[in-house]
Amino acid sequence: MRIISGIYGGRRNTKKAPAGVRPTADAVRESIFNSLFNMFDLDGKTCLDIFAGTGAMGFEALSRGSAHCTFIEKNRATVDYIRNTAQLFNIPKSHFAIIHQSALKAIDSNLVTERKFDICFLDPPYKLNILSEILKKLLRYNILNPDSIISIENSNSLGFILPTGYNIIQEKKFGETRVLFLNPTQL
């Protein structure tokens, strides 16, 4: 896993990602952050990286000026990978939190409600079919700021029903991957 740009730009965690983790490709990650920069300034923003995997999205956001990232990941080996990467990059502990729990349980148990989030990255396993439920819960528990942006990665071949309360701002396609940018309309 490599950080593309910002204060940690060029740094790598050369350890192999845990089995079953599908990291976001560098080109897709770069495109996502270029889009985010066109939408708003990342400086001082708070991020929520749900289904964090290697943590590449959250670490990239921290590198590019975000103040804090909360990573949610249920797999123990992957949580250890995220923790190892944070230590390797010397990221201050006050700039991140790791929640070792499934996404739905973490949101339902209010573990993420100590702050409101400006950016939310959602990249669940493509066949999990959980995006609509997660989006509904983000609104229900009021953990997003009104001007927040949600970046979703999913498969072109696996659609999902966008729940009420969100607008699609932008959509991009990268081979099998589709990236959607949403903002909440009902906060």
Which CATH number characterizes residue 105's domain? Answer: 3.40.50.150
User: Would you say 101 and 134 are in contact if contact means Cβ atoms under 8 Å apart?
Assistant: no
**Domain extent at residue 63:** 26-184
Question: Is 144 inside any structural domain?
Answer: yes
**What's the whole-model pTM score?**
0.94
Residues forming a β-bridge with 171: 180
Please give the angle made by the CA atoms of 74, 75 and 81, to the nearest 5 degrees. Answer: 115
Q: Domains in the chain: how many in total? A: 1
Question: Is 18 inside any structural domain?
Answer: no
Q: Decide if pLDDT at 19 tops 90.
A: no
Question: Is 1 inside any structural domain?
Answer: no
In our burial notation (b when 16+ CB lie closer than 10 A, e otherwise), range 72-88 reads bbbbeebbebbeebbee
CA distances from 184 to 82, 117, 146, 167 (A): 28, 12, 7, 6
Question: Is 109 inside any structural domain?
Answer: yes
Question: Is 15 inside any structural domain?
Answer: no
Chain segment 91-133, per-residue pLDDT in tens: 999 999 999 999 999 998 876 767 799 999 999 987 788 999 9
Question: Is 164 inside any structural domain?
Answer: yes
